[in-house]
Structure 1
Amino acid sequence: MVWHAWGDGEPLVLLHGGSGSWTHWLRNVEALAAAGRRVLAPDLPGSGESALPAGAADADDLVDPLAASLREVAGDGPHDIVGFSFGGLTAGLLAQRYHGLVRKLVLVGVPGLGVRGERLKLRTWRDEADAAAREAVHRHNLGVLMLHRPESIDALALALHAANLSRDRMRSRRLALTDILARALPTLACERHAIFGAQDALYADFWPGIQRLFAADPGFGELVFIPGAGHWVQFEEAAAFNTELLRLLKKR
């Protein structure tokens, strides 16, 4: 596993989303480090520059190698972990399997809650030989899935998205469509919170059910919605996200 680090202080681990890399946190790492944390953002196994473990097919297969690598980088903990989307699912399964490794868990736009709406109409970019055509597909898919406002799909978002997709070797997402995390939450020993973009295309039609789900977990803290943001909330509304995340991390 390849890790990226900023700052000094207590470790704060950021786990990126599916088909991503540490760059999902590009607009967050410096602000969080400036707040006095040692920010640690890996490329999850099979993404970015990190190797894919033999036989790994989904989030549950990443838990053991992630735990071993985290201990090498940051010690036995317990650690504060923030997981975005697929990374949030992985973080929740990590907290379930390794109770002593996680102190505080913040789930961002997380799947595995048993919520499944209409399939989003994404386009395939790999069949496009022309660079301009590939960029048009990436722009479309970012607008459908990741970002709420058209102006958020800027040159940086396009470049990060394209680079991350080209290095993705973890293609299975079977667990994201199940309720595996919803069932795991009440069993966790750590404090837990969640942040979503209020206009997240994956979940915006299901907020009442999601609110009830978290409310039914006796150990759950706060559910925070960031206005004006889609699924990639920490990129689209970085300042608001950083403020809310730091507030949740300071809660005791």
Structure 2
Amino acid sequence: MGEARPGRMPDMPIGTGEAPEALLRRLGAAARRVETPCGEGRMAWHVWGEGEPLVLLHGGSGSWRHWVRNIGPLSRDRMLVCPDTPGLGESAMPPEAGTPAPVAAVIREGIARVLGPGRRYDLCGFSYGALLSGHVAAQAGEELRSVTLVGAGALGPKRQVTELTKVRSLEGEARIAAHRHNLAALMFADPRNIDALALAVQEWNTRHARFVSRGFAGTTGLRDAIARARCPVALIYGERDAIAWPEVELRFQALRAVQPEAWTGVIPGAGHWVAYEAAESFNAMLADMLRRRIGR
């Protein structure tokens, strides 16, 4: 616990023939690990790189591994702070709550403990992490410099129903096939982009997920929370995001109704897990947004 010292970030090439599990272990070992209070247990944080802090919140049933293709490039110029959000990955369950706001409060307090009180940071959240980011932004003061929402639900427009296969009782090839089906149905625009690393991340995340967040996606919880943000706001989708396509523009309109100056962007050909499927384009768009909106 306490203020983080950034972990040294070695080169982490993707797709070089290294086994996915070995790559994930190596990436995790390169981080500075910090723990903060969470419910009756602890919340796990991983810190890479040096410079201005950028906090990344992963998606539902996920972990910091959702950012595996972004950590290396983004940590060259920034301190990346990636928690496992409460009830997911290696973090304890949050206190019981009917809305994301108390979970966001745990995260906000954790950020202050990891970075030190009052240190300014940028925030980026994917899917369920976008919902949490909106609630953090609603609670935050001047310490929050900007918030970027990625693949966000809970903005008001109804989403398409996505049929997923339950994997809890499956093992072996049947489990791998179910993971591949679910990634193709929800996370990727092109099933050919589902590689061994994506399957390894999905498997680890699924094994460690306890908190169920899907019930929040059909609400207006993010729109209502982000309306109270006092910092620059951005929203990014993959062009073929399963929760937004074919009505991505409706989501942008819903955001602009409460944040008229919000910056919006679409990454062509990518699906919901845009930060993985189109990592190079996503990393460039996020960096550009931060430069143009806050001069960093």
TM-score band, normalised by shorter chain: over 0.9
Whether the aligned pair in 1 keeps the contact of 2:155 and 2:255 (CA below 8 Å) is no
- Counterpart for residue 149 of structure 2: 107
One of 100, 109, 116 as aligned partner of 1:59: 100
- Choose which of 233, 248, 253 in structure 2 pairs with 1:192: 233
Larger RCO (CA within 8 A; separation ≥ 6) = 1
Report the equivalent of 2:223. Answer: 182
1:27 aligns with 2:101: no
Secondary structure, in 3 states, of the residue corresponding to 1:104? strand
The number of aligned residues is 250
Q: Secondary structure of 2:160's match?
A: coil
How high is the sequence identity, in percent, across the aligned residues?
40
Q: Secondary structure at the match of 2:227?
A: helix
TM-score by length of 2: 0.81
Give the Å deviation of 1:24.
0.4
Unaligned runs of 5+ in 1: none
Among 140, 150, 159, the residue aligned to 1:117:
159
CA contact (8 A) 1:95 1:101 kept: no
Give, in whole Å, the separation in 2 of the partners of 1:54 and 1:213.
30
Q: How does 1:34-45 map to 2 (within 5 A)?
A: 34=76, 36-45=77-86
Q: Please say if 1:68 is aligned against 2:121.
A: no
- Indicate whether 1:136 and 2:173 are aligned: no
Deviation at 1:57, TM superposition (A): 6.1
Report the 3-state secondary structure (helix = DSSP H, G, I; strand = E; otherwise coil) of the residue aligned with 2:217.
helix
Q: Any conservation in 2 of the 1:15–1:91 contact (CA below 8 Å)?
A: yes
How far 1:185 sits from its partner (Å)?
2.5
Task: Write the distance in 2 (CA, Å) between the matches of 1:175 and 1:70.
Answer: 23
2:128 to 86, 89, 97: 86
Q: Is the 8 A contact 1:47 1:169 kept in 2?
A: yes
Shift of 1:206: 1.7
**Deviation larger for 169-178 or 103-112:** 169-178
Partner residue in 1 for 2:254:
213
Asked if the contact 1:58/1:172 (under 8 Å) is kept, the reply is: no
Q: CA RMSD, aligned part only?
A: 1.5
Matched, 1:16 2:58: yes
Query: Which structure dedicates a bigger proportion of its chain to helix?
Result: 1
- Give the TM-score of the pair, scaled to structure 1: 0.94
Q: What amino acid is aligned across from residue 200 of structure 1 in structure 2? A: D
- What is the deviation of 1:98? 2.1
Q: Name structure 2 gaps, 5 residues minimum.
A: 1-42
| Residue identity matched to 1:23 | R
Aligned residue for 1:165, secondary structure, equals helix
Cα drift, residue 183 of structure 1: 2.2
CA distance in 1, matches of 2:134, 2:209: 21
Distance 1:179 1:82 in 2: 19
Offset of residue 58 of structure 1: 5.4
Helix, strand or coil: the match of 1:126? coil
